[in-house]
Amino acid sequence: MKIGLLDHMGYGNLGDAATQEALIANIKKRLPDADIIGFSLNPNDTMMRHDIVSYPITFWHPGLYKSREPNTDDAKVQSRLKPNLKKIPIISRVAKGALHFLREVAHLYKSFNILRSLDSLIIAGGGQLAELWRGPWSHPYNVFKFSVLTKLANRKLMVLNVGAGPLNSRLSKFFAKCSIYLADYVSFRDVESQALIGRLGVKRTTHVFPDSAYALDIATYEIANTLSIAKPVVGINPIGFCDPRTWPRQDQSAYSRYMDSLTEFSLWLISQNYRLRIFTGELSVDVYAVEDLKLRLSSCLPLSDIDDLCAPPSGNVKDLLAEISKLDFVVTSKFHGVIFSHLLTKPVIALSYHNKINDLMRTVGHSQYCLDIEGFDMKCLKEAFISLAENSQSLQTLFRQKTHSNVELLKAQFDELFVPGNSDHCPSILKAEQGGTVVSSST
C-alpha cells in the first residue's frame, strides 16, 4: 500500500513535524509494509526529518534550482530581458503572471501523475483549512487542488484531524467547502473547526478526534512529577506575534507590548526564586522573538546569566520534548506547545493569539490559565502563575487523565482507518467524552 501525507510543513515548525511523526509511526505500526511519501512546502526538509520521499505542494520550493547546472545562454538572455521588462510595468506583470501560470500547470500535471501511483492521500496536520498565512491562495488553495487531483486520479482522500479557520474570504470558504465534499473521510481536531465548516453549508458526515500529536510516543521523556527542590524551572516559549518581519499581521506596537510584558514577567519569575529557560519549537518565525527577549533581558541581567537561560533552538521533535521534559512549568503561545506540556504533564499557561488555543485549553479543562495575548495585564499573568504553581499536582493528574483519553481515542481511530481489513470502508462512529464534549459524527 502506498500512502501520501500532505501537510504545510517544512520550515521548522516542530508542531507540524510532531503531527506527521506521530501519524507515520502509527500507520507503520498497523501497516508495516506501507510505503509512505510526503507532500510539503519544503520536500528536502521533510525527507531528512521523516526519512520519506517527499514532493512539493507548490511549484516553487526551497532547493528547487540548487541541483540544476546553470545554463550560461539562458542566464545571458534573462540578464538582457529583465531590465527591459522592468521598464514596462504592465508587460512585466503580465509576463510574470503567465510564467507562474505555466509553472503551476506543469506542477499540477506532475502532482497528478504522482497521485496516480498512490492508493490514498491523507491531508493531515494542524491548520490546513486556514487562511492566516498568506490568504486563500496558500493553504486553502493547496488543499483544494490536491483534493481535486486525488479524486481525478480516482484515489481515496482523507482529511485527518485538521483545524479550520480563520476562513474569512469567499474564495477560502469555497476552497475549504469543496475539499471537504471531495474527501472520503473527514475528521477535525476540535468541535469548533467542525462547526465552522458546518456553517459554510457543508452537510455530510464528519468526525472530531484529538490532534494527532497526542499519539506521540513520549515514554522516553517521562520524568518524576515533583518540582525541583531548589529552584523550579519555568520555560518561556515566545512567538513572533505581530512581528513585522514574520507575522501575517504586522503591528510593531503590539509586538513590542508583548515582548515587554514577557520581559517584565521573566524578571518577576527570577525575583520569585524561579529559574528561567527560554526555548522555541519554531525555526523560521519565532527565532527573532527569542533573540529580542534575550536582548531585553540582557539590559537587566548579567551577560553570563543570559546564555544559561536561553536554550538553543530545537532542531527536531526529540530535542524539543527533551527540553520541555526538564521544565517544571511552561508559558507558551504555541498550540502544540500546550499539547507537548499536556503530554509531559507540565502545568502550562497559554498566552493565546488564536481560538484554537482557547478551545484546546477549555477542552482539556484548564481555561482559567488561558490569557489573551493582547488583553492580559501583568497582574492577571502573575495571579495565574501563582495559582498554577499552587495547583500543579492536580493539573498534572488532569493532564495524565486527558492525555490517556486522547491516546485511546486516536488508537481507536487509527485502528479503524489503518488496520488491514478496516481501511477500505469509513470508520464506525465513535462516541466518547472529551473535556465534556461528545466526540461523534456530525451531519
Kindly report, residue by residue over 130-155, the tens digit of the pLDDT.
998 788 999 999 999 999 999 999 99
Helix intervals (H) in 7-71 = 14-30, 43-50
Q: How far apart are CA 99 and CA 85, in angstroms?
A: 13
- CA-nearest of 169, 236, 239, 303 to 15 is 239
User: Residue 41 burial by CB count (10 A; 0-12/13-18/19+): exposed, middle or buried?
Assistant: buried
Are 34 and 2 in contact, with CB atoms under 8 Å apart? yes
Residues 6+ apart with CB under 8 A from 437: 191, 208, 363
Q: What is the reported pLDDT for 54?
A: 95
Q: Specify the higher pLDDT residue, 116 or 246.
A: 116
Residues 6+ apart with CB under 8 A from 141: 171, 175
* Residue 144: all three cell numbers together: 483544494
Q: How far apart are CA 437 and CA 106, in angstroms?
A: 45
* Residue 329: all three cell numbers together: 512549568
Mean pLDDT, residues 4-19 taken together:
90
Q: Which residue(s) pair with 415 in the sheet?
A: none
Q: How far apart are CA 242 and CA 239, in angstroms?
A: 9
Q: How far apart are CA 352 and CA 334, in angstroms?
A: 8
Q: Is the pLDDT of residue 246 over 50?
A: yes
* The CA-based dihedral angle spanning residues 375, 379, 380, 386, taken in that order and rounded to the nearest 10 degrees: 150
Q: Specify the higher pLDDT residue, 94 or 443.
A: 94
* The CA-based dihedral angle spanning residues 239, 245, 249, 254, taken in that order and rounded to the nearest 10 degrees: 60
- CA-nearest of 238, 244, 314 to 281 is 314
Domain ranges of the chain: 2-216+407-439, 220-401
Q: Is the dihedral of CA 62, 68, 69, 71 positive or negative?
A: negative
Q: How far apart are CA 279 and CA 294, in angstroms?
A: 11
Asked if the peptide bond before residue 302 counts as cis, ω within 30 degrees of 0, the response is: no
CA 46 to chain centre: 14
Q: Which residue(s) pair with 4 in the sheet?
A: 37, 121
Q: pLDDT for 20-77, tens place per residue?
A: 999 999 999 999 999 999 999 999 999 999 999 999 999 876 655 444 444 444 444 4
Q: How far apart are CA 159 and CA 181, in angstroms?
A: 10
Q: What is the reported pLDDT for 139?
A: 93
Phi–psi pair at 235, nearest 5 degrees: -95, 125
Asked if the domains 2-216+407-439 and 220-401 are classified in one and the same CATH topology, the answer is: yes
* Residue 133: all three cell numbers together: 498565512
Neighbours of 165 (CB within 10 A): 21
Q: What is the reported pLDDT for 284?
A: 77
Best-predicted range by mean pLDDT (304-313, 321-330, 414-423): 321-330
Q: What is the reported pLDDT for 308?
A: 79
* pLDDT band at residue 420 under the 50/70/90 scheme: confident
- Place domain 220-401 in its CATH homologous superfamily: Glycogen Phosphorylase B; (3.40.50.2000)
Q: Is the pLDDT of residue 122 over 90?
A: yes
Neighbours of 262 (CB within 10 A): 24
Q: How far apart are CA 195 and CA 163, in angstroms?
A: 11
- CA-nearest of 296, 403, 280 to 344 is 403
* End-to-end CA, the chain: 31
Q: How far apart are CA 37 and CA 174, in angstroms?
A: 28
Asked if the peptide bond before residue 313 counts as cis, ω within 30 degrees of 0, the response is: no
Helix intervals (H) in 223-326 = 252-271, 287-298, 303-309, 317-325
Phi–psi pair at 56, nearest 5 degrees: -80, 145
Q: What is the reported pLDDT for 305?
A: 75
Q: What is the reported pLDDT for 125?
A: 85
List the CATH code of the domain at 2-216+407-439: 3.40.50.2000
How much of the chain exceeds pLDDT 90, in percent?
70
Residues 6+ apart with CB under 8 A from 113: none
